[in-house]
């Protein structure tokens, strides 16, 4: 089974849930990149102090403060959509009431992410930074702030019925890399891409699809090739649309991007023509298929973020800059140095020598905004690379390893917070540390929050829960904070406090969130997550009925599907006693090999999931892990991972264990155990995935 490719805004994932079998059809790589349009200049659009009519009501005032003041800047929408300029004139500076009327049709108060303003800048229209996705996220932040301040409309996530698409056949990447070597790797990649995308390059850049080992290069190149539609391959788009590293197609000629793209397209097409179409198994009972852009983004809904200072969602996925999408000027964008790489599912991986740092000028807003309230919250979704690293800074606002304003760090299996105040030293000593016995820090994705207020001082929360640890110095004044310090992730500004691991989200606010608000943000989730609705109306007999699953891009190599639930979007429908069992997820017309079976649903009111019997479970494990003595992991009564015989069908919850492809034919279990123990399960040598019974 070929490895699942990473999802992004440019990649299309077609999926279908089966009752009782699930099929998922996917395409690697996807749509065109975007361009930045330059605004026209206009003196009347300059964002001077407003002298026009007062806002007519509270909602117009909320629009003025949260959205209009931002978009009317001449380097944003105000460069064109000013009074007397292009219609609609929602960025006009002469009358905020008229601007409000023009903006209303462009904003979707029910689904803000579908607002025309968000979609336009996300498509590259007059984006004021190099990444359209960051412009879209920033615009969405402004719109949500307007809605939260003055509109009665809810900002929660709404599910909508996707179009009905029939599951089709598709092409799978074969296990053998010889065709890739012949048509793509040898004539194109090793000739034109080896100077960067190889581990042996002077400045190596991942992925290493031009590396010396063709099998490793094959794995790295698969997400960049679309066998079903070669023209949509990322390799082709990079040359054709983004003019990336084009080469001369004639001797002595200049770099020829159209010619380079044509050569790449022909190479991928030749390779794709050697791969047979995999038909859909006619014995399967199929739902309708679903394309990822038709799904609903699951992460970030109903977050509490009414006091934003800085926000990083890491959606850019390329380049050396992570953009601040808080919408608060100046934007404290982070620049990568050293060992920092993008990872799938919206995040960055900070390795040895790496850090992501903002300038001191843009970081100064942290000092001014936080000093004005005397409180702050640092919120992070992070996965430490190990639990042995000490004095390792995850997020720090500091000047050196001896002077700081605030720091969230890791010390082995403890998290710690440092805050400079009138009760602590200029280095934030003494720190607040979680109890060593609780082992709060784990080498797994965790939600970590450090808050500070003048009364209680620092508090630490892990995965939505207060750790119970008390700040030894309580609260104090932050008047001594230094506004010449810089915000940095994964290290100290001088490189002396290295932290290694994956960061998927960072947000800083200038107030201390309550325990309930921290729990709300934890429940909102993080990363590239979607609600996918697989239409089973024809199978269940229930109007507008779907199998809802949460699909996540777990990392650059795997997906995670969780929380299968039977739902109906028909308010008159009353489904009862709906049993779902034997569900599968498929890719390109064939069943994918999962890392865990689906357990009982946590929402019995929506139906229930039945567990397969011991005999079928045993057969499934036997077929999934041939020619090896390794046994599937099961959950013991002590809530830790243990190795047991498969006769007791007790699968690991999907949130706890997944099957990850690390080489072409080698799969390993990555286990997240209880709070008191974390270890890597033994590898399964030469394990090849087979369809379970």
- What pLDDT sits at residue 299? 61
pLDDT at 1 over 50: no
The CATH number assigned to the domain holding 424 equals 2.60.120.200
Give 444's DSSP letter: S
- What pLDDT sits at residue 340? 94
91 located within any domain = yes
- How far CA 612 is from CA of 207, 585, 597, in Å, comes to 39, 16, 9
Question: How large is the average pLDDT for residues 327-332?
Answer: 93
644 located within any domain = yes
Segment 367-398, tens digit of pLDDT = 999 999 999 999 999 999 999 999 999 999 99
Between 387 and 603, residue with greater pLDDT: 387
- What pLDDT sits at residue 262? 96
Q: Which two tokens stand for residue 401?
A: 């390893």
Residue 13 · residue 24 · CB < 8 Å: yes
313 and 266 co-located in one domain: no
Q: Which two tokens stand for residue 631?
A: 């046994």
**Using 50, 70 and 90 to split pLDDT, how confident is the model at 588?**
low
Segment 488-533, tens digit of pLDDT = 999 999 999 999 999 999 999 999 999 999 999 998 888 878 888 9
pLDDT at 616 over 70: no
pLDDT at 47 over 60: no
- How far CA 98 is from CA of 40, 52, 68, 496, in Å, comes to 21, 10, 11, 54
- Helix, strand or coil, per DSSP, at residue 89: coil
177 located within any domain = yes
Residue 412 · residue 396 · CB < 8 Å: no
- How far CA 37 is from CA of 121, 122, 141, 467, in Å, comes to 9, 12, 21, 48
- What pLDDT sits at residue 149? 59
403 and 506 co-located in one domain: yes
365 and 508 co-located in one domain: yes
The last residue of one of the domains, among 463, 483, 512, is 512
- Residues 584 and 594: their CA atoms lie apart, in Å, by 8
pLDDT at 24 over 80: no
Q: Which two tokens stand for residue 668?
A: 């390993």
Provide the domain count of the chain.
4
Q: Which two tokens stand for residue 477?
A: 């004044």
519 located within any domain = no
Which DSSP string do the residues of 305-345 spell out, in sequence order? -TTEEEEE-----SSSEE---S-PSSP--EEEESSEEEETT
Domain of residue 138: give its range: 43-150
What's this model's pTM, rounded to 2 decimal places?
0.65
Question: How large is the average pLDDT for residues 353-370?
Answer: 96
133 and 247 co-located in one domain: no
93 and 186 co-located in one domain: no
**Using 50, 70 and 90 to split pLDDT, how confident is the model at 606?**
very low
pLDDT at 579 over 50: yes
* Torsion sign across C-alpha atoms 654, 1, 11, 501: positive
- How far CA 19 is from CA of 283, 338, 547, in Å, comes to 12, 48, 9
The last residue of one of the domains, among 487, 512, 537, is 512
Segment 111-140, tens digit of pLDDT = 888 899 999 998 888 888 888 888 999 999
- What pLDDT sits at residue 620? 32
- What pLDDT sits at residue 256? 93
Question: How large is the average pLDDT for residues 278-289?
Answer: 82
**Using 50, 70 and 90 to split pLDDT, how confident is the model at 42?**
very low
Question: How large is the average pLDDT for residues 558-582?
Answer: 81
Q: What percent of the chain has pLDDT over 70?
A: 75
- What pLDDT sits at residue 29? 34
- What pLDDT sits at residue 592? 65
407 located within any domain = yes
* Burial of 195 from C-beta contacts in 10 A (0-12 / 13-18 / 19+): middle
- What pLDDT sits at residue 109? 80
Residue 597 · residue 666 · CB < 8 Å: no
Helix H or strand E encompassing 529 = strand 529-535
- Residues 28 and 34: their CA atoms lie apart, in Å, by 18
282 located within any domain = no
pLDDT at 324 over 80: yes
- Residues 466 and 503: their CA atoms lie apart, in Å, by 21
Which of the residue ranges 26-40, 328-342, 546-560 has the most confident prediction, judged by mean pLDDT? 328-342
- How far CA 655 is from CA of 295, 552, 562, 584, in Å, comes to 21, 11, 7, 17
116 located within any domain = yes
Q: Which two tokens stand for residue 310?
A: 């800085």
Question: How large is the average pLDDT for residues 258-277?
Answer: 95
373 and 479 co-located in one domain: yes
- Residues 414 and 388: their CA atoms lie apart, in Å, by 10
Residue 172 · residue 5 · CB < 8 Å: no
pLDDT at 34 over 80: no
Kindly give, in sequence order, each residue whose CB lies less than 8 Å from that of residue 162, ignoring residues fewer than 6 positions away.
Answer: 290, 291, 294, 295, 533, 535
- What pLDDT sits at residue 33? 40
- Of 598, 615, 617, 622, whose CA–CA distance to 22 is shortest? 598
Q: Average model confidence (pLDDT) for the chain?
A: 78
- What pLDDT sits at residue 255? 92
Between strands 308-312 and 321-322, the pairing is: unpaired
- Of 185, 288, 276, whose CA–CA distance to 235 is shortest? 185
């Amino acid at each position: 089974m070929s490895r699942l490719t990473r999802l992004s805004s440019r990649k299309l994932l077609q999926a279908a849930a089966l009752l009782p079998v699930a099929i998922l059809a996917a395409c690697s790589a996807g749509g065109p990149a975007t361009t930045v349009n330059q605004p026209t200049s206009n003196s009347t659009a300059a964002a001077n102090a407003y002298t026009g009519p007062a806002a007519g009501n509270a909602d117009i005032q909320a629009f003025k403060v949260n959205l209009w003041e931002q978009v009317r800047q001449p380097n944003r929408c105000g460069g064109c959509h000013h009074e007397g300029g292009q219609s609609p004139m929602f960025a006009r500076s002469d009358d905020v009431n008229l601007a409000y009327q023009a903006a209303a049709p462009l904003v979707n108060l029910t689904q803000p992410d579908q607002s025309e303003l968000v979609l336009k800048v996300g498509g590259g229209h007059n984006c004021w930074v190099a990444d359209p996705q960051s412009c879209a996220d920033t615009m969405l932040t402004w719109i949500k702030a307007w809605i939260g301040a003055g509109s009665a409309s809810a900002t929660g996530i709404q599910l909508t019925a996707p179009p009905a698409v029939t599951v089709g056949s598709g092409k799978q990447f074969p296990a053998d890399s010889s065709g890739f070597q012949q048509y793509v790797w040898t004539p194109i990649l090793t000739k034109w891409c080896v100077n960067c995308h190889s581990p042996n390059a002077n400045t190596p850049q991942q992925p290493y699809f031009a590396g010396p080992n063709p099998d490793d290069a094959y794995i790295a190149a698969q997400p960049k090739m679309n066998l079903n539609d070669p023209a949509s391959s990322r390799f082709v788009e990079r040359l054709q649309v983004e003019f990336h590293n084009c080469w001369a197609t004639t001797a002595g000629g200049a770099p020829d991007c159209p010619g380079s793209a044509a050569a790449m397209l022909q190479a991928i097409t030749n390779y794709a023509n050697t791969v047979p179409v995999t038909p859909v198994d006619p014995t399967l009972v199929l739902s309708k298929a679903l394309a990822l852009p038709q799904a609903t983004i699951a992460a970030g809904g109903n977050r509490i973020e009414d006091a934003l200072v800085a926000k990083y969602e890491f959606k850019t996925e390329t380049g050396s800059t992570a953009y601040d999408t808080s919408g608060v000027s100046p934007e404290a964008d982070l620049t990568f140095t050293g060992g920092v790489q993008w990872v799938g599912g919206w995040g960055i991986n900070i390795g040895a020598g790496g850090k992501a740092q903002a300038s001191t000028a843009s970081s100064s807003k942290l000092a001014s905004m936080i000093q004005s309230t005397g409180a702050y919250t640092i919120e992070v979704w992070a996965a430490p690379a190990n639990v042995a690293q000490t004095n390792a800074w995850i997020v720090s606002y500091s000047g050196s390893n001896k002077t700081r304003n605030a720091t969230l760090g890791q010390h082995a299996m403890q998290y710690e917070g440092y805050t400079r105040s009138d009760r602590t030293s200029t280095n934030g000593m003494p720190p607040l540390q979680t109890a060593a016995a609780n082992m709060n820090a784990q080498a797994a994705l965790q939600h970590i929050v450090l808050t500070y207020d003048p009364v209680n001082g620092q508090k630490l929360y892990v995965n939505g829960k207060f750790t119970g640890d008390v700040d030894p110095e309580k609260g104090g004044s932050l008047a001594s904070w230094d506004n010449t310090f810089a915000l940095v992730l994964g290290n100290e500004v001088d490189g002396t406090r290295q932290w290694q691991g994956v960061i998927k989200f960072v947000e800083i606010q200038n107030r201390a969130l309550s325990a309930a608000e921290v729990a709300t943000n934890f429940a909102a989730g993080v990363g590239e997550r979607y609600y996918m609705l697989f239409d089973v109306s024809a199978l269940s007999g229930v109007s507008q009925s779907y199998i809802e699953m949460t699909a996540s891009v777990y990392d650059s190599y795997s997906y995670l599907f969780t929380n299968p639930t039977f739902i109906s979007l028909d308010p008159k429908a009353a489904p009862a006693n709906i049993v779902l069992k034997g569900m599968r997820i498929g890719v390109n017309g064939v069943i994918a090999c999962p890392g865990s079976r689906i357990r009982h649903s946590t929402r019995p009111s929506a139906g229930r999931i039945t567990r397969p019997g011991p005999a079928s479970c045993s057969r499934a494990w036997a077929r999934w892990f041939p020619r090896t003595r390794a046994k599937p992991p099961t959950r013991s009564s002590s809530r830790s991972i243990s190795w047991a015989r498969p006769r007791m069908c007790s699968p690991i919850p999907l949130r706890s264990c997944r099957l990850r492809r690390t080489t072409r034919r080698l799969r390993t279990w990555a286990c997240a155990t209880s709070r008191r123990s974390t270890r890597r399960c033994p590898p399964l040598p030469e394990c090849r995935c087979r369809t379970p019974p």
